């Protein structure tokens, strides 16, 4: 957008492509997760990697004031905005420790995670040299999806814990993430994944305590398991991020409806190829992201599902192809019917496969209300 | 990167993940395309959508001073930096015309493209109302890949041309892009695609001239066809963009070697899962992009090919999986041998599938020389 323009007051005035947040849906999604955590008796620690926006974060943070981040840049931005109880939920590399301690000296309580003796020893050395009692969670692996100490390897787990406990760093608990849940869709399978995540974390927490080691924090979570768990017994906090906006992947998993998705990309029709059944727009992968997260789901949404400018979905219109600044809208394969007679200049909204990836392509969010008023322009940041 | 640090002077000092440009390779790639255009007797109009960086653009622009852009933001940034002969190579939407004319009033010669009577009429109305004689190229379609008037539809083509010619806008020629070339790899097929692109553009240019209409510009191009064409007869200019960095997709097409790729993402090892044959790094899709452009090629490079910190490729190590801020390195499926014993804190460079998409995830480039010195920090921009 040209920086010298006044902020548009109506969705019809926005230049395209741009990123739209349905304000009412965002607030409803935030409220749903807060209520769920409260009902389950745990703190919610929202993952701010999805939004990367201070004004939106203020709507997500619950009474506990806790949050999760995926980069030190997020820790700096949110920490300096007053959100100071943070977990940096990506395995630490030793080179990043000076920036972690710099945050600590600013009064930001940033807990780091690690899963190896090697990293624990590096943190112990840094804590000794810097005098910073860095709080550390041990990452554990409950489903073979990513990083973490497997539940079967309690020997290594306790070795890591003892390195930390015998250092100036502060062994603060365990953390896990049920990565497998993103590949599921049956409610029973999701409930099983949630219970597997819970019981694995509790098992490792008990392993620490039985060895006489502290474990004040037992942190689990993903959007699908957070919304599918029957019990949080033994858990102190749950993390989730994409729930703030939801997206087509989450709808495919079944933890939200298409109509709950709060994020979309506003685009303009720039041409038609009636000979091919194509409508071209100015929304390519630069605006939508190249994420194809629904490719392996039962309903492939290609590069996104098409809606009217006001947000009503066309169930069978998708962005079938995307180049850098052009999207090609077609009927979904196998669908019957015809594409509406869109004209050059008509405007359409595209729901994203993966809200984190789509939001990352933009520098601000335009919040709109149900009447099409632009109520807020929320800046967002990227980088590390 | 923390903004209060002095710029690092060595690659070993850079915080990860970050974007590296091998300066010597960039300059060699730029020189190769300039020499090729000169040998073929056409102007080169580099597409700056790949780089989005004024200091890099200065290395790409040839004697003619021409360039191509994919957004009005690029036109504004590059135009105000003195690169004023521009083509905006995405079909115009009427709402964007006031910004186009604002650039014209700044002395920036921005040519727009369109492919419909509807858009031509909107441009004609705008030219009449604004008094801005906007230069317009008609987009033509030579291979059914994207937008453009098909070669078979000369009636509509001439109708568009007459709407423009009879208006205050300036009919300035034709433009096409051989999108099909990205799916090819045999040299003969690439040469055929290049000749198809050339002959199609020349046919439409001659169609205009035979109807008594002007066609000063005949613009074609893609990186694969630019490097595969035998003749540019009848062509005035060739466009290409990704050649500046090259990438794994271009290497798979066969128009560059892996060793020509000038762009990479520097990452740090954050863990190992020896039970699974995994090395984890801090380079996920946020740093690499989610682009999987080599998926359909003969050699799938997954989310990128792994190199040493100094840039020597491991031919069988790939980033097999990527979450937002974590990459999982494995041996390529079917490869023999073992993964080197990387330690936490070791640093690796990842070559991208698609340079345009990977660069778009970053806010600056770190240019390094062969000795590992950081010679330049080049800012880049995104947005529309």
Residues B29-67: tens digit of each pLDDT: 999 999 999 999 999 999 999 999 999 999 999 889 999
Do A199 and A85 belong to one domain? Answer: yes
Closest by Cβ to A15, choosing from B95, B282, B362: B95
Q: Does residue B202 fall inside a structural domain? A: yes
Mean pLDDT of chain A: 96
Residues A6-32 pLDDT 10s: 678 999 999 999 999 999 999 999 999
pLDDT tens digits, one per residue of A319-367: 999 999 999 999 999 999 899 999 999 999 999 999 999 999 999 999 9
| A279 and A326 fall within a common domain | yes
Predicted complex ipTM: 0.96
Per-residue pLDDT band for A3 (boundaries 50, 70, 90) equals very low
Q: Give the C-alpha separation, A198 to A213, whole Å.
A: 20
Asked if A179 and B323 come within 8 Å (Cβ–Cβ), the reply is yes
Task: Report the pLDDT value the prediction gives residue A8, as an integer from 0 to 100.
Answer: 80
In a domain, B293, yes or no: yes
Expressed in angstroms, the distance from the first to the final Cα of chain A is 24
> Quick one: pLDDT at residue A33?
97
Is the residue at A15 inside a domain?
A: no
pLDDT digits (tens, 9 = 90+) for B121-148: 999 999 999 999 999 999 999 999 889 9
Report whether B232 contacts B41 (CB < 8 A).
yes
Contact call for residues B10 and B367 (beta carbons, < 8 A): no
B224 and B271 in a single domain? The answer is: no
Q: Could you tell me the CATH number of the domain that includes residue B289?
A: 2.40.37.20
CA of A322 vs chain B CAs: smallest distance (Å): 10
Nearest neighbour of B90 by CB, restricted to A99, A326, A343: A326
pLDDT of residue B7: 73
Q: Quick check: B95 contacting A, CB < 8 Å?
A: yes
Q: Is A89 exposed, middle or buried (0-12, 13-18, 19+ CB in 10 A)?
A: buried
Q: Are residues B162 and B114 in the same domain?
A: yes
Among residues B183, B218, B244, the one where a domain terminates is B244
Indicate whether A237 and A312 sit together in one domain: no
Instruction: Give domain status of residue B26, yes or no.
Output: no
* pLDDT tens by residue, A178-222: 999 999 999 999 999 999 999 999 999 999 999 999 999 999 999
* Structure confidence at residue A370 (pLDDT): 94
Q: How far apart are CA A51 and CA A71, in angstroms?
A: 13
Q: How many domains does chain B have?
A: 2
Non-local CB neighbours of B167 within 8 Å, separated by 6+ positions? B120, B123, B124, B127, B128
Name every residue whose Cβ is closer than 8 Å to that of residue A17 and which is 6 or more positions away in sequence. Answer: A265, A266, A267, A268, A282, A283, A286, A287, B384
Residue A192: in which H helix or E strand, if any? helix A187-210
| Pair (A80, A170) in one structural domain | yes
Judge if B266 and B191 occupy the same domain. no
Is the bond preceding A319 in cis, omega lying within 30 degrees of 0? no
Among B193, B216, B244, the domain-final residue is B244
Cβ pair A116:B291 closer than 8 A: no
Which pTM was predicted?
0.97
Successive 10-residue mean pLDDT values, chain B, 384 residues: 62 98 98 97 98 98 94 98 98 97 98 98 98 98 94 98 98 96 95 97 98 98 95 98 98 98 98 94 98 96 98 97 97 93 97 98 98 97 98
Q: What is the pLDDT of residue B6?
A: 65
Q: Which of B97, B147, B268 to mutate to test the interface with A (most CBs of A within 10 A)?
A: B147
- Domain of A289 in residue numbering reads as 262-379
| pLDDT tens readout for residues A60-72 | 998 899 999 999 9
CB A170 within 8 A of CB A133: yes
Pairwise CA distance, residues B300 & B309, whole Å: 22
Q: Does residue B36 belong to any structural domain of this protein?
A: no
Taking residue A182's Cβ as centre, other Cβ atoms within 10 Å add up to: 23
Residue B24's Cβ-side half-sphere holds a number of Cα atoms within 13 Å equal to 7
Tell me the residue ranges of DSSP E strands in chain A. 18-22, 43-44, 66-69, 85-91, 109-114, 135-141, 149-150, 170-175, 217-220, 237-238, 263-273, 278-281, 305-308, 313-322, 327-331, 347-351, 364-368, 374-379
Q: Are A261 and A248 in contact (CB under 8 A)?
A: yes
Q: Is residue B191 part of a domain?
A: yes
Boundary residue ending a domain (A244, A278, A304): A244
Residue A344 lies in a domain: yes
In a shared domain, residues A188 and A319: no
The CATH number given to whatever domain includes residue B55 is 3.20.20.10
Q: Are residues B65 and B213 in the same domain?
A: yes
Compare CB distances from B268 to A93, A270, A275 and report the shortest one's residue: A93
Residues A346 and A216 in one domain: no
DSSP state of A242: G
pLDDT of residue B33: 97
By percentage, how much of chain A surpasses pLDDT 70?
98
Q: Determine the length of chain B.
A: 384
From the list B102, B271, B287, the residue facing A147 with the nearest CB is: B271
For position A2, what pLDDT does the model report? 39
Look at residue B30 and tell me if it is in a domain: no
Beta-strand pair B278-281/B327-331 = antiparallel
Q: In the prediction, which pLDDT does A4 show? A: 42
Q: Angle B72-80/B97-105 helices, nearest 10 degrees? A: 10
* Residue A203 contacts residue A235 (beta carbons within 8 Å): no
The answer to whether the CB atoms of B344 and A275 lie below 8 A apart is no
Handedness of CA B29, B35, B41, B46 (dihedral sign): positive
- Same domain membership, residue A165 and residue A207: yes
Contact status, residue B380 vs residue B50, Cβ threshold 8 Å: no
The answer on A225 and A364 residing in a single domain is no
Q: Determine which of A144-148, A295-299, B260-264, B289-293 has the lowest per-residue pLDDT on average.
A: A144-148
Interface of B with A in 125-164 (CB under 8 A): 141, 144, 146-147, 150
């Amino acid at each position: 957008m040209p920086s010298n323009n006044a902020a548009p007051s109506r969705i019809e005035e926005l230049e395209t492509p741009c990123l739209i947040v349905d304000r009412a849906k965002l607030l409803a999604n935030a409220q749903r997760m807060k209520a769920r955590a409260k009902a389950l008796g745990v703190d919610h620690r929202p993952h701010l990697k999805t939004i990367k926006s201070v004004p939106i974060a203020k709507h997500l943070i619950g009474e506990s004031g806790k949050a999760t981040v995926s980069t030190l840049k997020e820790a700096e931005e949110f920490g300096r905005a007053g959100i100071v109880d943070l977990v940096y939920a990506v395995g630490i590399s030793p080179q990043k420790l000076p920036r972690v301690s710099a945050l600590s000296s600013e009064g930001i309580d940033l807990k780091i995670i690690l899963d190896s003796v090697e990293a624990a020893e590096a943190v112990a050395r840094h804590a000794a040299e810097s005098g910073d009692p860095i709080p550390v969670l041990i990452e554990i692996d409950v489903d073979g999806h990513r990083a973490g100490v497997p539940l079967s390897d309690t020997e290594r787990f306790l070795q890591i814990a003892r390195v930390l406990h015998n250092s100036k760093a502060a062994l603060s608990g365990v953390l896990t993430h049920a990565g497998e849940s993103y590949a599921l869709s049956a409610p029973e399978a999701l409930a099983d994944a949630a219970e597997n995540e819970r019981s694995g974390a509790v098992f490792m927490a008990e392993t620490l305590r039985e060895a006489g080691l502290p474990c004040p924090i037992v942190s689990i979570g993903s959007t699908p398991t957070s919304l599918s768990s029957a019990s949080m017994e033994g858990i102190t906090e749950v993390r989730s991020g994409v729930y703030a906006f939801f997206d087509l992947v989450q709808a495919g998993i079944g933890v939200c409806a298409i109509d709950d998705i709060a994020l979309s990309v506003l685009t303009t029709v720039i041409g038609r190829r009636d000979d091919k059944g194509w409508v071209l727009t100015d929304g390519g992968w630069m605006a939508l992201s190249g994420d194809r997260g629904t490719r392996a789901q039962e309903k492939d949404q290609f590069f996104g599902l098409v809606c009217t400018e006001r947000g009503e979905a066309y169930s069978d219109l998708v962005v079938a192809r995307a180049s850098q600044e052009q999207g090609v809208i077609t009927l979904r394969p196998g669908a019957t019917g015809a594409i509406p007679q869109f004209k050059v200049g008509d405007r359409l909204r595209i729901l994203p496969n993966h809200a984190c990836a789509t939001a990352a392509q933009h520098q601000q969010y335009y919040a709109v209300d149900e009447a099409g008023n632009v109520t807020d322009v929320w800046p967002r940041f990227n980088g590390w």
